[in-house]
Amino acid sequence: MSAKFKTPEESRVVISMLMLPSHANFSGKIHGGHILSLIDQIAFACASKHSNNYCVTASVDVVDFLAPIEVGEMVTLKATVNYVGKTSMVVGIRVDAEDIKSGAKKHCNSSYVTMVAKDGDGNTVTVPGLKLSTDSHIRRFSREIRRKTIKRKSSKEMKATNFNADEFVEQLKDYNVKLGD
């Protein structure tokens, strides 16, 4: 276990930027891919700040798009390390948008990104531990333990070697699918 510990606040990163027409999709809303790119960038910054090393994205576990973002809105991304393993960190990211004219704010996205710390040769390195000093810190860390447990269980259940199509044919009758030729 790492001898050094950091609080989530020590590696917290906040960025704000105006959403431009060049960020929009065909319906005039900010393209989800643009937001995903910003999420990856802030996850990198937060994890690198915590680990004092460059980091790579291992997985994007959850991305919930909750509300569209309009051209001209000010978008703020907030990232904190919610969980640490030996070489990995889970960065929680919140995306909010603000209408500059009215001041109205909305929560647009929540994401959880797993980042792995690497040295200059590309080898994984041990990251500092996480100092949990508030109920919010404990809640976020504990929820991530739960998410990881659910993900492991789901991954095991979804393996192709465990799949028997005959078990699911009856269930598929309730879905918009056609079986066979």
| Interval 7-28: pLDDT, tens | 999 999 999 999 999 999 999 8
The reported pTM is 0.88
Share of the chain above pLDDT 70, in %: 97
Annotation: CATH topology of 5-131: Thiol Ester Dehydrase; Chain A (3.10.129)
Residue spans per domain, the chain: 5-131
The residues, ordered by sequence, that sit 6+ positions from 164 with a Cβ below 8 Å of its Cβ are none
pLDDT of 162: 67
Mean per-residue pLDDT of the chain: 93
CB atoms within 10 A of CB 136: 12
- Nearest-angstrom CA–CA distance, 176 and 178: 7
Low-confidence spans in the chain with pLDDT less than 70: 1-3, 160-162
